[in-house]
Structure 1
Amino acid sequence: MSTRTKNSNKKKKKWLKWTLIISLLFVVGIGVYGFSIYRSLTSATDQMHQSIDRDGSDKRAEEVQFEEKDPFSVLLLGIDRDENGTGRSDTMMVMTVNPQEETTKILSIPRDTYTEMIGAGYGYDDKINHAYAFGGVPMAMDTVENLLDIPIDYFVEVSMEGFEELVDAVDGVTINNNFSFESGGHSFPEGELSLSGDEALAFTRMRYEDPNGDFGRQERQRQVMEAFIQEGASVNSLWNFGNIFDALGNNIKTNLSLDQMVDIQREYRAAASSLEQSTIENGSGQMIDGIYYYVVPDEEISKIQSSLKDHLNL
């Protein structure tokens, strides 16, 4: 064998050696990165998890089994707190998920909806968003459950004060604004807008200038939350996972465990592809004892109850 051939073989072996070393480091790096993501996710979900003092629902005979793909419901609460720390549910939505139909429905409940408060010491009608202020998550779940006549299985509570942090964690969101207005010191022209956290909070809080009132605000809140989810799920956000998980842990509470979240992601993924949104309509604003309420006719409530029961296979 010639000297040139020997040198060539040595170079090939050396190149192969370094290729293997670099590949190994790359694989190890991905493993460390993946472990870091998992550890951050676990920490965030531990911080997010909140048990509630509630015996479950008398409207459900058996507990939801995710591995059997049972339909389930979630109460989504956007909580706004005053300077004294008292919180009210600024936003209330009920999400029902049916994996057999591969559909998800989200019903927005106007905050001024006049309904019976369900909880110890309460038995009168009031604005539905007062239920959280009076009795926290359990009373909010029980009151919504009574209004809609369906089991409310889980809850997700989002701090509106922390909304700014959530949006900034994904480097802002892009939404489509239907009409121009000003709010919170910001101007929002009509058309596609890129919003920072502070801008997104002002965008979702505006209410009185909207010709659709509370319904218009609900639509803006839904837009921003959808945009946040899309940004958080993007490839670009993978490199910013630490900030995203920190923001989630700081500002979201739920009685869903990490294992349950994983089961939902695995077993119910197809249901998220078909999303139907609605709100409680055909009500009317009425003054009762000098206070404004949104009063919904019984026939409208019955229609909504029937639709949700069908979707939950009840």
Structure 2
Amino acid sequence: MRSDKQKKKKRKGLKIFLIILLVFVLGIAGYLGYAYWKTTSTFNKIHTPIEGKENASVRLDKKQPFSVLILGVDERSGDKGRSDTLIAATVNPTKNKIQMLSIPRDTKTTIPGYDSNPHKINAAYAYGGVKMTDATTTQFLNGIPFNYYIKINMEGFRDLVNAVGGVDVVNDKDGLTLATQSSEGNKKVFNKGKIHLNGEDALAYVRIRKSDAEGDFGRQKRQQQVMSAVAEKALSTGLIWRFDGILNAIGDNIQTDFTMNDITRIAKDYRSTLSNVENLQVKGEGSRIDGGPWYYVVSDAERARLHDELAENLGMK
């Protein structure tokens, strides 16, 4: 078990798309009036509230804590897909802390509004989109509400990586191999050390699971690693002339219920939280239920622990 000191260790990573928005939008908009117009236009395109959902009340102008559900969805032509990545994030400006809880996609749960049978949590998106995923994740976490969501199309993720000119990451494992062939017709193999990833390579790198001894947890780390690298690159002043490409990639592959005003407020008043990111991990065991599908089984006690951790950062009583 990690110590409290380890859990509170500050990290550069985990600047998922949320943090690209929080900092990148504000910084670039200050340089060009056109950039501000373009950014506003992009937000008008991607702004998609969850139909019929009344978000838990939060006052950003009063610097209240808030929560975000982040979905990386594996959508392909003719296939709605499932949530390949599911992250529950909480942001507390008083504590200057962001929590990121990655929930394994094979986690066993029930899906409210669908049926009472056990399912993998990533199926909630296939059955009912963002709305059902939101409700399922809240139930799994014993009532943690989500004020906002961000959905990223993982197929379009390559566009974002290409828009910033590719990224450099340090791979800590030898022989990581994507089991299926890429669209370029070759199996992707990544060896230990510093590697440069274009969009196609990055998509393969963050999808690897079977050749990694850490399985889903290893994949989650790579997703966080690459998104962090994308954010670092997007925030560099040398990429100002890539602005159009970056926003086009965002506009084509992102949906969120954040408004432009929300992001501007967060970038102004919540920026100090970015230096302190706490990673939380779901503890469970792999199991086959009655000889059927493989699930990641999480105990009620663990779900209660996760609820309490997130609730504390949200200031819930």
TM-score by length of 2: 0.85
Paired position in structure 2 for 1:11: none
Determine the structure 1 residue equivalent to 2:134: 141
Q: Give the drift of 1:54.
A: 3.2
Residue number in structure 1 paired with 2:107: 113
C-alpha distance in structure 2 between counterparts of 1:79 and 1:219, whole Å? 17
- How many corresponding residue pairs? 279
**Distance change (3 Å), C-alpha of 1:301 and 1:33:** closer
CA offsets 1:246-293 (integer angstroms, 9 cap, x no match): 011111110000110101111100111111112202x11111141111
Aligned-pair identity (%): 39
Give the secondary-structure state (helix, strand or coil) at the position aligned to 1:216.
helix
Residue 34 (structure 2) aligns with: 36
The aligned residue for residue 289 of structure 2 is 288
Cα deviation for residue 93 of structure 1 reads: 0.4
Deviation at 1:42, TM superposition (A): 1.2
**Which amino acid in 2 is paired with 1:229?**
A
Which structure carries more helix by proportion? 1
One-letter amino acid matched to 1:48? I
- Map 1:234-273 → 2, pairs under 5 A: 234-273=236-275
After superposition, the Cα gap between the structure-2 partners of 1:85 and 1:99, relative to the gap in structure 1 and judged at 3 Å, is same
TM-score after normalising by structure 1: 0.85
Matches within 5 A, 1:163-242: 163-180=157-174, 181-183=176-178, 184=182, 185-242=187-244
Task: Specify the structure having the higher radius of gyration (Cα).
Answer: 1
TM-superposed deviation, 1:124: 3.0
Whether the aligned pair in 2 keeps the contact of 1:56 and 1:153 (CA below 8 Å) is: no
For 2:32, what is the secondary structure of its paired residue?
helix
Find the aligned partners of 1:142 and 1:298 in 2 and give their Cα distance: 18
Q: 1:295 to 1:35 in 2, by over 3 A?
A: same
Deviations 1:72-119 (A, max 9, x none): 000000000244222200000011000000000100000010112012
Q: How many Å separate the matches in 2 of 1:143 and 1:178?
A: 34
Cα distance in 2 for residues equivalent to 1:56 and 1:136: 16
Match of 2:78, SS?
Answer: coil
Q: CA separation of 1:192/1:205 partners in 2, compared to 1, >3 Å: closer, same or farther?
A: same
CA distance in 2, matches of 1:245, 1:207: 30
Q: CA deviation at 1:38?
A: 1.1
Higher relative contact order (CA 8 A, sep 6+): 2
Matches within 5 A, 1:66-81: 66-81=60-75
What is the RMSD of the two structures over their aligned residues, measured on CA atoms? 1.7
C-alpha contact (below 8 Å) 1:132/1:140 kept by paired residues? yes
Check conservation: 2:76, 2:155, Cα contact below 8 A.
no
Q: Which residue of 2 aligns with 1:53?
A: 51
